Amino acid sequence: MIKTMRSMLCATALGLVVFAAQAQVAADAFVRQLSAEVVDTVKADKAIQAGDLRKVIALVDTKIFPHVNFQRMTASAVGRHWRQATPEQQKRLQDEFKLLLIRTYAGALAQIKDQTLEFKPLRAKPEDTEVIVRSELKGKGDPLQIDYRVEKSGDTWKIYDLNVLGVWLVETYRSSFAQEISAGGLDGLIQKLADKNKAASAAKG
């Protein structure tokens, strides 16, 4: 139950943010501006709030994942085993991991109603290429802490990890992935992710 809640919260957090901008502008300014765009889209789209998977996938693919360093995120979650994976295994891991997160967003994004995202002062130097943007999601109940690890990639900012309630997303998946790899190797992990995605797809009908 706790892992499921954390996954939902992490998905909600990741679904709120998009990174695309000139590198000289502060990372938190882009998070503030573009996450607001995503939140507004979700709030205005009844189909997304109703859990329309096709609309969620479209939102994620066009506004979120193009601005995520997904290879770094997947490699970090797989850990040392990533270097042992063949190019085909790496591709399948990225594809299945991405689909897993997208399907998690379907439920998480639908929960966005009246929440607002407030940002804390950025603690970084202008020359820093990796920074943490800290924020809180506020609504009914206690504020939800959300921290984003972002990096400069050419002239853009990209996300490569996030923290919700003191738990970093990559670290959470690294633990569960390690157990699957220990039991069935990299192919076993890929099959496990594929099975979860197929089950989720069937449940959505």
- Please name the helix (run of DSSP H) or strand (run of DSSP E) that holds residue 36, with its range, or none: helix 27-44
AA letter at 32? R
Task: State the pLDDT at residue 106.
Answer: 62
Task: State the pLDDT at residue 21.
Answer: 35
- Please name the helix (run of DSSP H) or strand (run of DSSP E) that holds residue 149, with its range, or none: strand 144-153
Q: What is the pLDDT of residues 133-161, one digit of tens each?
A: 998 888 887 887 888 899 988 777 898 99
AA letter at 153? S
Distance separating the N- and C-terminal Cα atoms of the chain: 24
One pLDDT digit (tens) per residue for the chain, 205 residues: 555 555 555 555 555 554 433 345 678 887 787 788 888 888 888 888 777 778 877 887 788 777 889 899 999 999 999 999 999 999 999 999 988 877 766 666 666 777 788 899 988 888 889 999 998 888 887 887 888 899 988 777 898 998 877 888 888 899 999 999 999 999 999 999 999 989 877 776 5
Task: State the pLDDT at residue 48.
Answer: 82
The C-alpha atoms of residue 14 and residue 109 are separated, in whole angstroms, by 10
Task: State the pLDDT at residue 87.
Answer: 97
Task: State the pLDDT at residue 16.
Answer: 53
Q: Which whole-number Å values give the CA distances from 86 to 93, 100, 126, 131, 186, in the listed order?
A: 10, 21, 38, 31, 10
The C-alpha atoms of residue 182 and residue 56 are separated, in whole angstroms, by 33
The C-alpha atoms of residue 93 and residue 193 are separated, in whole angstroms, by 8
